[in-house]
Structure 1
Amino acid sequence: MNNAPQTRILAIVLAAVTLAACVLAGLNFSHESGYEVPTDGIRWVEGPGGLSAAQVPQDSPGQRAGIRKGDTLLAINDHDTPRLASLTREMFRSGSWSHATYSIARLSVRLDIPVILEPTDRSINQGLRLIAAVYLCIGLYVLFRRWTAPKSTHFYVFCLASFVLYAFKFTGEFDTFDWIIYWSNIVAFLLQPALFLHFAVGFTDSGEPVRTRNRVLGVLLYLPGLYLVGLQVMAILRWSATETLKHRLDKIAYGYMAAYYICAGALFFIRASRSEFPLQRQQLKWLSRGTLVAIVPFTTLYVVPFLFDWAIPATFANLAHLSLVFLPLTFSWAIVRYRMMDVDLIFKRGVTYTLATAALVGIYFSVVAVTAEMVHTRLPNLRVWGLLAAIIATGLIFDPLKRMIQARVDRVFDQKRFDYRETLIDFGRSLNSQTDLDALLDSIVERLPQTLLVTRVAVFLASEPDEDSYRRRPHFGLAASHGLTNLEAPELNTLDVSFLAFDEPGANNHIFLENPQQVLRLPEAQRQSAGRLDLNYYLPCRVANRAGRGARTVAVIGLGRTGDGDFLSSEDMELLESLAGYIGIAIQNAQLYRRLEQKITDFEKLKDFHENIVESINIGIFAVDLDDRVESWNAQMEVMYARSRGEVLRRPLSEIFPADFVQRFEAACGRDSDGGNTGTHNLYKFRLVLPTGDTRIANIAIAPLLSKTFETVGRIILVDDITDRIELETQLTQSEKLSSIGLLAAGVAHEVNTPLAVISSYTQMLTKQLRDDTRLTPVLEKITQQTFRASEIVNGLLNFSRTSGAEFTSIDLNPLLHDSAILLDHQLKTAQIRVDMHLEPNLPRVHGNQGKLQQVLLNLLLNAKDAMQGVQNATLTIRTESTDKQVVILIQDSGSGIEREHLHRIYDPFFTTKTNPQAGQHKGTGLGLAVTYGILQEHGGKIQVDSEVGVGTTFRLEFPAVAVATPVGAP
């Protein structure tokens, strides 16, 4: 309580500093985005004769212009540049993407070289800001998740300093805001290594003398950083801050940072090797590894070349900085101190995400570089869109890249353990094949130590369930073990493991005992048993309980630590929890199998007698008990339902039959108060779906199965397959329907022919009287012609209903198509349908009946018109062509199309898809395509259809050609 005010003040200070840092970082990013710094890419050093080119990087603007290492810069645009300040001033005066004339002295020869200045590439700053965000998020997570843990506040300050170090980037404008960013970055740069080493010194403090000594040492650790800050201040404010002086101060700062990092890693490694506590040793082991992975690339790829003025490729420098993200990823979880030792797991995942992020950043910057080149040189109007495309493309590949790296990292870090886990998963899936309980338990206690490298494993079995055990707390006894060498046989019966209460409300998924010998929360007897077992983990093996009463624990698996004294990780625990479900089901199956074996002799005679009765009956018969489990299954059921006895016996109906049958079965079989069912129930013409996917129709009778004492012991089900009978009845009905169609067609033909004859007679009379009328005569002749055609159509309907002959002649299909289209011209124009007609000029003739073929064409054209009702830009295409001894007609529409499941039925009589009255303002009769198909067969032709819903339908008619047409103009 005494520290409460200090804690609140510290929280307020940290919150204010964090908020200020975030605001400044956002403003800094905004300023940097709008402020370009021109550069020639050359590192100039001040000397007696002026500025000398110390480094000329490959493909820099200066190198492309022809400047070489050792050249002396005299002036830019005729303005003298004796100092770096004047050089910077002249470059800003010229601006980015401008031509600046460099006056160079090379071997006492003055040269004027035009240089195109480019904006300074600050793309690496975005990757560093990503690292800064990772630092800040992890620091906040640790602070809020475990703010009471030792060193959590220290760690957050370290993350905050790292955030400032990587997020604050001065632009070179050096106004008041830029100076704030500059000095904040300098202080964070020199403070972060000291915070890191101080964290390493105090991470494992134990005892007041050690803490006091480490506090004094911690204060001394900050003195070099403060001294370097003072040097930077003096260099800027009082000394002449030449480029040489600044470069030397940067070398000292980077050497100081690398030295502190290396000392911290060595300290972690030494303490890990000397620690006597497994939990602490495990944490320190992964801390030292995380430091090694972060520091070695940074030191070797960046610090060492920088100290010796070696040229550093940009890619190596970027990877060196990105490797530092391993520090917060590993240290944060070490502070949280999860008891299942998640440090190694989080470290591996940290490696995965860091490598994935590094690869993503590399790809991103590559794409940005290519895009920038294209933007500046070729496509200046696509600058923003090009960068957005680069961001989207790299974002899409992050997840598959991360999964690929995750698999590689798992194998690299622990190949043997990774393979063992895969073996363990396969073992869990194969457990159900083991029906011997003793062999099953032996295989469990043998496989787990090999896979997880633990030294002690035990399996505790629950007492055998009975009617009352579902309401009582189960008792567990040791059934199998490995590595429990300190227990004698008499002691096994005295173990009190009542603390394994996993079926109690609110119980956890597992029990973890960090020190089994000192579990103070348990009663004395249970504490002694836990100490003798010396197991750290207890996992329940649960199975579904009867009657929906939740899960029941049938066994408990106990495990100790590994051979190295390490604890298991949460990844191991997740795997074990999944495996425990398989083990529970396997143990329950083995127990059920054992109980069934005890009763198998009593059921053998009853089974033989039952099978002898039902095997000779030609009806499917099977019986179920009161729990709806199959007790018998005759040979007819095997043939009809395509399942053998071995697949169905002792299994519930819900696992064998489809859900609709089970529902009808349960609904039909009402149960009385004794659990039996009353009377016989029938399911008439029930559609039964077979496992093969076929459907059979059966009459199913369900009756009570009675014992000798007239006690209901189950139900007997008789399945009479009437599928063949139903098909015969359907064929008979169809035959009667076709006969009725014939009678109807004959009547219609008779009734329609009479008014057609009257219309034809009066039309011919009018034609004779108005023979001189040139306007009406063609109309009356067309009416006469169409009455003849209508009569032929009626006679065709009569022919469809009976076998009759018709007059066949040689026909040219082109005029027939043209006349049919003219007849429907008004309807097509009203429906706003455009007709494209492509008729082959020299089309061979076919042998057929002109009226019937015109009936075919009109049917297809009317169907096409109806299919295009309401379609925008509807088009009807009619095409003729000739192939080898064949004449082809193609009728294609852009309508709604035909469903694929309906294509095989479109030629059936009375089948129609025109169920919507709005489609053509009428419902179809289903006879058009049936008549069309019959006429094509009569003419020896073929009809094919190709349709896609929403695109349209194409009918292809093929007729045998009888002669090849003579080309026009031939002799």
Structure 2
Amino acid sequence: MKNAFQTRILAIGLALATLAVCLLAGFNIAQENTIDTPTDGIWWVEAQGGLRAERVPADTPGSRAGIRAGDILESVNDHPTLRLDPLVRAIFRTGSWGRASYSIVRPIVTPQGTLFTPKLDFNVILEPADRSNHQVTRLIALVYLLIGLYVLFRRWTAPKSTHFFVFCLVSFVLYAFRYTGVFDTFDWCIYWSNIVATAIQPALFLHFAVSFSDNFANRRRNLTRRRALVVFLYAPGLILIAVQATAIKLWSATEILKHRLDQTAYAYLALYYVLAAIVFLFRYRSAESPLERQQLKWLTRGTLLAVVPFTVFYVLPFVFDMAVPALVTKFAGLSLVFLPLTFSWAIVRYRLMDVDLIFKRGVTYTLATAAVVGLYFAIVAFSAELVHTRLKDLGVWGLLGAIVIACLIFDPVKRAIQGRLDRIFDQKRFDYRETLVEFGRGINSQTDLRALLDSIVERLPQTLLVTRVAVFLAEEADGQRRSRSFHLAASHGLTNLPAAELQALDVRFLDFDAPDANNHIFLENPQQVLRLPEDQRKTAGKLDLNYYLPCRVANREGSGTRTVAVIGLGRTDDGDFLSSEDMELLESLAGYIGIAIQNAQLYQRLESKISEFERLKEFHENIVESINIGVFAVDLEDRIESWNAPMEEMYAKPRREALHHPLSEVFPPEFIEQFNNVRHEDGTHTLYKFRLALPSGDFRIANIAIAPLVTRDLIAVGRIVLVDDITDRIQLEVQLTQAEKLSSIGLLAAGVAHEVNTPLAVISSYTQMLSKHMRDDQRLAPILEKITQQTFRASEIVNGLLNFSRTSGSEFTSIDLNQLLHDTETLLEHQFKTAQIHVETHFDPALAFIKGNQGKLQQVILNLMLNAKDAMHGKPNATLKIATESGPGFVFVIIQDSGNGIEKEHLNRIYDPFFTTKATPQEGQRKGTGLGLAVTYGIMQEHAGKIQVESEVGAGTTFRLEFPSATTLTTREETARPDAASASSVENTRSTIHA
């Protein structure tokens, strides 16, 4: 309550004081404008016999009248001038542009001494005093007051803001109050206010310097010492006020005394300013807090920029009575405006980074103003000369045109100076910023997200000279905007954080999509962000980043923006904060970065989709390529668009020769006709066991399915054709059917053989018995012998049927097929010679052995050779080729003749029992029983082999026998064969017929 009351009283007091000084300044200006102060431009001081001309500046009324430095003024208008007051009164009585008569004695220095000339009379035309310097200082005063008010209202509670406002208010009094010389009550009030301000303002400034930061008070533990220091700081000013009062009340008011007091006041002012600059510089070098260091940096620079020109070009020449051009002193006084500019922003701490920007822009506008003023006067002078000499008709309009031209060139001049200052003050950073702008313009060309993030965290530290940079990428959960979170994607300088902590960062405070979110977050001290929850405060402290800028892009749907990434930045290498110019550049660059990140993410998603699409495409193609049926697709114009590997193999046409070709150029007319019949019908159509002609001239049997090829929207884009080659399956089915036929016939033959054997045994027995009783009967004995022979023949036929129906149990041994073929060919050698058949053999010397029964295999070979001999009966140049070949795990026997061949309609029946084409044999041929190939087929099945036949009518027939080698024969196949003992029990001899 007490603090609030004191604050209220202080605010009222400051408001009243500000209002009072503003009113006094206004009245002072009004009074000054009503009083015309004439002057001769000469600095007169008291001397023996009158007033001595101490300095006579050129181009002043006194100089133009002929008065020289050192002349002694005795009277003005016949009024003696032993002191300065009579001269002032005489000048005021004469008035501006009036003629005053000066009586002067001019001393002449000779070797004998100083001689004085007789009285010289000079007529001096008095001119109004130049008060332009007053307007310059009042401009500085107005800047002080406005900045002080801004600081006070902007940050009332900021440290030293009240002290700073008092300093600005006293500075306003110092530079705005100017007494007129009338010295009435108001003029005396203005005079003493100016005296007090001159004494207090430097002390306030130095006091502000030594107590600027909060840490100073903490280090000054002794309150008495602090108060003693304050008294020591203000004591010289109080002494100066006392001396001024004493001089007016007690001492003789001479011009020399007044000048010495003014010199003392300006020396005191400059000394305190220089001491303040030294204090700021010392404090800046020893400051530890980044904020304090940033403030003190610009306080030091601003103080030096204001104090050095003011001290060198204004105070020192005045103290040591050196002549300096008036324009130089005006610009030196104008430099004091930099004090309030830099101090205000350092105290406010609001956008503290603007201090350097204001500093540079202040210099820019000052130099630009000076350049434009010079150009203005040059243009005005040139225009006046041009108007007066050549363009007399323009008159005032010519001067107005010159003013307009000067106004137009102000902005380009200012920009040129600003660019030059940027180069002078921070050449390296300026170059980096230009590089960063170029980087921002070209950043969208980067499509690799990882490379883009690495480029960002690499270029920003180089450009802005910051030590820590981090990029956080946004994540979306279920597409909900409010559930967005961020994760650290790239960083520079965060080496103090292990990987585990980087993964556990809680950065939920980076909520830039909230309605009231700012364009960036500034954390003055990341270790002490009290407004954040505990976990987020710890994260901010670990990251140690001072700035967070959102990278926003437009929403995919609707209006507004969304944050795709956040850029975090720390302080510079020197521990300073960034400037507002940096922040504006970063905010602009963040938009480019956001778009670039969005593009990179979209490109990454597109690449992912493309990879997934390619993977699915490859997967689907692998499926199509891996299935064991031919698949091809045609478009709506019947052009082939796909052709899988099984189709290449089956149809014997490479993919490159089929793709993009019309269907009619690839397939035969029979298929095209069937395809056209179903192309306009819905659903899937199947061509069962279609005989497909191949380009090579061969034929394949296939089931062909023709189905529409449609999109997800059920729009037909072509047709897909599936070609299932069933040629081998049909052959297997034929073989299976043949095996089933043989099995059925075998069962029938077994039954018939057993039924026939019984009566044959009875007939044979009785016939043999009768033959024994009637062997002497010449008539009946031959008849009974013929009956016996026929019964034996019938028994052989029946035993043949039994052998066909039974699985032989003969013993299996290792057999050399080469030797077996040679022995069989030797056995039939005489028959082949008789039939004029040439035999060619090609045996593989490395042929593997097989497991089998030699007798049965010899029966197979014998049957095939005899069939070949019968097929070549009567053919000229008959040739029988016998060969063996080796394969992986198999051996092959090829028996090829050049006979008449087998007709195609008979190929499917050659293994049927009792089917024969030799029912009516020619002379020299055997009459066939139809059991030879049937028995051969059974023996091959018993040996786990395969028999294949290829025949062309008129060209010959080739039988190909396939046997598994002895090393690949499975145990199951071995155990499936009956043993030798069971096989021997079924052997029959011609001498006995068993019932």
Q: Partners in 2 of 1:571 and 1:505 — Cα distance?
A: 26
1:541 correspondence with 2:551: yes
1:553 correspondence with 2:579: no
Amino acid at match of 2:267: G
- 1:275 is aligned to 287
Amino acid at match of 1:528: K
Contact 2:351 2:580 in 1 (8 A): no
Contact 1:319 1:358 in 2 (8 A): no
Q: Return 5+ residue gaps in structure 1 as ranges.
A: 375-381, 607-611, 615-705, 714-971
Q: Return 5+ residue gaps in structure 2 as ranges.
A: 108-115, 387-393, 619-634, 638-708, 717-995
Contact 2:346 2:352 in 1 (8 A): no
Contact 1:128 1:167 in 2 (8 A): yes
1:241-286, CA deviations, whole angstroms, 9 ceiling, x for partnerless residues?
1001111111111111111111111111111111121211121121
CA change 1:333–1:63 in 2 (3 A) is same
- 1:287 is aligned to 299
**Which of 204, 217, 223 is residue 206 of structure 1 equivalent to?**
217
Amino acid at match of 1:526: Q
SS of match in other structure, 1:504: coil
1:137 correspondence with 2:138: no
Q: Partners in 2 of 1:255 and 1:471 — Cα distance?
A: 66
Amino acid at match of 2:157: T
**How does 1:587-606 map onto structure 2 within 5 Å?**
587-600=597-610
Q: Partners in 2 of 1:35 and 1:393 — Cα distance?
A: 35
Q: Partners in 1 of 2:225 and 2:423 — Cα distance?
A: 42
Contact 2:178 2:191 in 1 (8 A): yes
- 1:45 is aligned to 45
CA change 1:472–1:303 in 2 (3 A) is closer
- 2:513 is aligned to 503
1:115 correspondence with 2:124: yes
**Which of 696, 699, 708 is residue 711 of structure 2 equivalent to?**
708
1:456 correspondence with 2:468: yes
Give the Å deviation of 1:472: 4.5
CA change 1:99–1:228 in 2 (3 A) is same
CA change 1:269–1:384 in 2 (3 A) is farther
CA change 1:156–1:707 in 2 (3 A) is farther
1:530-549, CA deviations, whole angstroms, 9 ceiling, x for partnerless residues?
33322222222111112215
- 1:475 is aligned to 485
Q: Partners in 1 of 2:376 and 2:35 — Cα distance?
A: 22
Q: Partners in 2 of 1:102 and 1:497 — Cα distance?
A: 85
1:418-462, CA deviations, whole angstroms, 9 ceiling, x for partnerless residues?
111121111111111111111111111110000011111111222
CA change 1:516–1:175 in 2 (3 A) is closer
SS of match in other structure, 1:103: strand
1:160 correspondence with 2:163: no
Give the Å deviation of 1:144: 0.6
Amino acid at match of 2:523: L
Q: Partners in 2 of 1:398 and 1:185 — Cα distance?
A: 36
**Which of 298, 310, 321 is residue 309 of structure 1 equivalent to?**
321
1:261 correspondence with 2:270: no
Contact 1:201 1:218 in 2 (8 A): no
Amino acid at match of 1:583: I
Q: Partners in 1 of 2:613 and 2:58 — Cα distance?
A: 90
- 2:247 is aligned to 235
Amino acid at match of 1:501: D
1:245 correspondence with 2:254: no
Query: What is the alpha-carbon root mean square deviation over aligned residues?
Result: 3.5
CA change 1:31–1:131 in 2 (3 A) is same
CA change 1:302–1:91 in 2 (3 A) is same
Q: Partners in 1 of 2:151 and 2:554 — Cα distance?
A: 39
Give the Å deviation of 1:564: 1.5
Q: Partners in 1 of 2:374 and 2:148 — Cα distance?
A: 26
SS of match in other structure, 1:209: coil
1:626-649, CA deviations, whole angstroms, 9 ceiling, x for partnerless residues?
xxxxxxxxxxxxxxxxxxxxxxxx
Across the two proteins, how many residue pairs are aligned to each other?
612
Amino acid at match of 2:156: W
Amino acid at match of 1:181: I
Give the Å deviation of 1:90: 1.3
Contact 1:339 1:514 in 2 (8 A): no
1:894-913, CA deviations, whole angstroms, 9 ceiling, x for partnerless residues?
xxxxxxxxxxxxxxxxxxxx
**How does 1:355-366 map onto structure 2 within 5 Å?**
355-357=367-369
1:574 correspondence with 2:584: yes
Amino acid at match of 2:429: R
1:151 correspondence with 2:160: yes
1:783-814, CA deviations, whole angstroms, 9 ceiling, x for partnerless residues?
xxxxxxxxxxxxxxxxxxxxxxxxxxxxxxxx
- 1:10 is aligned to 10
Q: Partners in 2 of 1:9 and 1:321 — Cα distance?
A: 35
Amino acid at match of 1:28: N
Amino acid at match of 1:708: T
Q: Partners in 2 of 1:413 and 1:535 — Cα distance?
A: 26
Q: Partners in 1 of 2:170 and 2:263 — Cα distance?
A: 20
Contact 2:211 2:217 in 1 (8 A): no
Contact 1:326 1:354 in 2 (8 A): no
- 1:424 is aligned to 436
CA change 1:385–1:55 in 2 (3 A) is farther
1:586 correspondence with 2:589: no
Amino acid at match of 1:289: R
Give the Å deviation of 1:160: 0.9
Which of the pair has more CA radius of gyration? 2
Q: Compare 219-228 and 282-291 and name the one that shifted more.
A: 219-228
Amino acid at match of 1:576: L
Q: Partners in 2 of 1:29 and 1:260 — Cα distance?
A: 29
Contact 2:457 2:469 in 1 (8 A): yes
- 2:348 is aligned to 336
Q: Partners in 2 of 1:459 and 1:266 — Cα distance?
A: 41
CA change 1:520–1:118 in 2 (3 A) is closer
Contact 1:271 1:284 in 2 (8 A): yes
CA change 1:355–1:135 in 2 (3 A) is farther
SS of match in other structure, 2:489: strand
Contact 2:345 2:352 in 1 (8 A): no
SS of match in other structure, 2:221: helix
SS of match in other structure, 2:421: helix
Give the Å deviation of 1:340: 5.0
SS of match in other structure, 2:14: helix
Amino acid at match of 1:295: V
Identity among equivalent positions (%) equals 70
Q: Partners in 2 of 1:43 and 1:383 — Cα distance?
A: 40
Contact 2:99 2:126 in 1 (8 A): yes
Contact 1:169 1:185 in 2 (8 A): yes
CA change 1:404–1:222 in 2 (3 A) is same
SS of match in other structure, 1:473: strand
CA change 1:529–1:184 in 2 (3 A) is closer
Q: Partners in 1 of 2:291 and 2:86 — Cα distance?
A: 60
1:180-203, CA deviations, whole angstroms, 9 ceiling, x for partnerless residues?
222221211221111111111211
- 2:192 is aligned to 183
CA change 1:187–1:600 in 2 (3 A) is same
Give the Å deviation of 1:359: 5.2
Q: Partners in 1 of 2:450 and 2:369 — Cα distance?
A: 50
1:835-884, CA deviations, whole angstroms, 9 ceiling, x for partnerless residues?
xxxxxxxxxxxxxxxxxxxxxxxxxxxxxxxxxxxxxxxxxxxxxxxxxx
- 2:668 is aligned to none
SS of match in other structure, 2:178: coil
Q: Partners in 2 of 1:122 and 1:174 — Cα distance?
A: 18
After TM superposition, the score normalised by the length of structure 2 is: 0.57
Contact 2:553 2:563 in 1 (8 A): yes
SS of match in other structure, 1:579: helix
- 1:665 is aligned to none
Contact 1:456 1:561 in 2 (8 A): yes
1:701-732, CA deviations, whole angstroms, 9 ceiling, x for partnerless residues?
xxxxx97354799xxxxxxxxxxxxxxxxxxx
Contact 2:52 2:71 in 1 (8 A): yes
